[in-house]
Chain A
Amino acid sequence: MSKQYQAIIVGAGPAGSSAALTMALAGLDVALIERGAFPGEKNMFGGILHRMTSIEELMPDFWTKAPLERHIAKKGTTFLTREASFNVQHETVNFDRAPYNGYTVFRPRFDRWLAEEAVKAGATLITRSTVDDLIYKNDRIAGVSILGRAGQIKAPVVIAADGVLSFTAQKAGLRRPKFNADQMAVGVKALIDMPREMIDDRFGLVRDQGFANEFVGATSGVRGGGFLYTNYDSLSIGLVFHLASLRVSGKTPYDMLNEFMEQPQVAKLVRGGRLMEYSAHVIPEGGYNMIPELAGNGILVAGDAAALCNATGVNLEGINLASHSGILAGKTVIEAHQRQDFSLKTLKRYKERLDLSWVMKDLKGFRNAPRMLHIDRIYNEYPELVCSMMEHIYRIDGTPKVSIPKLVLREVKEKVGLKNAISDALTAWRAL
């Protein structure tokens, strides 16, 4: 059994479904192949669905139709130690009205919906199908084979949107066979059931407002960070670890997640909740420097498969980059069909399009951010410094006060070292 399509998209995540939607709207007959029982079944993220202006152009009613949770009106950062925490929060009415800056979503719902939109536009969704290999005819990509199944799915061009490990891109020779653990992270997440009113009261939210908080110092000295996001009636709480650092730490993600949720101030935030689901996934955090070859003869790479993830330490973006790259890949395939040329000569237009877009401009602009995140002091010494300094400033106990500049200097010297602090500040300045 084999069927001929005009394009195959491997993976019905945000990149794949955006590509399928783009091509289907232009009248191409495309196959969107997903290994899950439904799109989104295998997907998790720790994150926020940010504005996606390119998909808004394809679907003007995107934000009214998509299955969203709360819009993020309030963002916070917490410096955490075992005993203490120091919070910085930002809230503005500008993030509390349309167009909203970002939403929390459940991937099994959101990804499924987006793939269905591609199907409504004419794409064929093939679920429960793990792509095994690319098939070639006369040295040209001619389609894909499915694991454990006879037959092939044929098309003159394939878009690899099969996620961070992209075996499709590897088989096409576009990504290196070995990943660098320095450029990869793993996120683990607990979904905590909690009544809506409790969330509203606890985090100071009304209507559909949501809160997103990042934590520094939550990872027992392992490079990484913590997050807490509000859904309508649940919390997403988790940790992200850089793999090179986690590997040698001897610590386990779940033990550290438990410790994080038991930290006295964090425990108050999750109290009364019930664990509903635990999930984990690798994240390409190497930024611009780890992007693979984006195009080859008969193949394009999009989304996490192309490492299009912007983890600057301030904002964490992925789905918006994935969707935009999927749309640009789709546009390039449409053009390739017009020319009837699926060679790199035509498909390399995809890379040119990406280079001109905010996706590559952002990744290039923040290409040094991963280096800043490799400063190990961020994950232990600096949160200790901030919390200890605040404790000294707030403490009134009948002893004479030290002036604040003197206190800062003393604490910096003691906790970090002056030289280190200056060098870290320079690294951070250059990175951001």
Chain B
Amino acid sequence: MNIDEIFDFTSFTIDREPHIVLDTTVCAGCDNRGCTNSCPARCYTWSEEEQKMTFVHDGCLECGTCYVVCHKSAFTRWRYPRGGYGVAYRMT
């Protein structure tokens, strides 16, 4: 299983408006960045070169891991997607 191909095996109805918004200046000062390895969908990537956190909500499984793992309160928004949007499990 290649996580980069998540859209091949899990369905999403992507909302243009992100349901999670990060203040990435907080992430720049984080000593841990546990979100980058803990997120099961690899939505968070830290660039050592640019010293910058990137978050992409498209493949978010809405699992809640980042909400619990972030101890810097970096979220300016953390809510579930609008009704009908987001991950759509078929079987699981």
Residue numbers of A with Cβ under 8 A of B are 35-37, 40-44, 106-109, 127-130, 132, 146-149, 164-165, 167, 179, 181, 184, 186, 188-191, 234, 236, 241, 243, 246-254, 257-258, 261, 275-282
Contact = CB atoms under 8 A, between A and B. Distances in A.
A247 B92 contact: no
A188 B79 contact: no
A189 B63 CA distance: 12
Given A181-B69, A247-B38, A277-B10, A130 B80 contact: yes
| 9 smallest beta-carbon distances between A and B, as pairs | A247-B34, A128-B83, A282-B64, A128-B84, A280-B40, A280-B63, A129-B83, A254-B3, A253-B40
16 contacts: A36-B84, A37-B13, A37-B84, A41-B87, A42-B62, A42-B89, A130-B82, A165-B64, A167-B80, A179-B68, A181-B68, A252-B3, A254-B3, A276-B91, A278-B6, A280-B41
B92 A44 contact: yes
Nearest to B32: A247
A18 to B, nearest CB: 21
A106 B91 contact: yes
Given A36-B88, A246-B34, 9 more contacts: A35-B81, A42-B88, A43-B92, A108-B91, A181-B71, A186-B64, A191-B91, A248-B34, A279-B87
A132 B82 CA distance: 9
Contacts of A148: 82-83
Contact of B89 (A43, A128, A149, A179): A43
A387 to B, nearest CB: 26
B34 A106 contact: no
Interface of B: 1, 3, 6, 9-10, 13, 32, 34, 37-38, 40-42, 61-65, 67-69, 71, 79-84, 86-92
A249 B32 CA distance: 10
B1 A254 contact: yes
A351 B11 CA distance: 39
Most chain B Cβ neighbours within 10 Å, of A35, A241, A280: A280
Contacts of B84: 35-37, 127-128
Nearest to A37: B84
B87 A108 contact: no
A252 B37 contact: yes
A251 B34 CA distance: 9
Contacts of B68: 179, 181, 184, 243, 282
Contacts of B86: 42
B68 to A, nearest CB: 5
A146 B83 contact: yes
A183 B67 CA distance: 13
Contacts of A243: 38, 65, 68-69
Contacts of A241: 38
Nearest to A255: B3
A328 B10 CA distance: 35
Contact of A254 (B42, B62, B90): B42
A248 B32 contact: yes
B89 A280 contact: no
Contacts of B38: 186, 241, 243, 246-247, 252-253
Contacts of A248: 32, 34
A278 B10 contact: yes
Contacts of A109: 91
A106 B91 CA distance: 6
A281 B64 contact: yes
Contact of B83 (A147, A184, A247): A147
Nearest to B67: A165
Contacts of B10: 277-279
Contacts of A164: 64
A165 B75 CA distance: 15
A191 B92 contact: yes
Given A130-B80, A243-B69, A251 B37 contact: yes
Contact of A186 (B3, B9, B63): B63
B2 to A, nearest CB: 8
A107 B63 contact: no
Nearest to A241: B38
Contacts of A130: 79-83
A129 B81 CA distance: 9
A147 B40 contact: no
Nearest to B3: A254
A103 to B, nearest CB: 15
Contacts of B79: 130, 132, 147, 167
Given A106-B92, A147-B79, A280 B37 contact: no
Contacts of A132: 79
B9 A281 contact: no
A419 B92 CA distance: 43
B1 A275 contact: yes
Contacts of A36: 83-84, 88
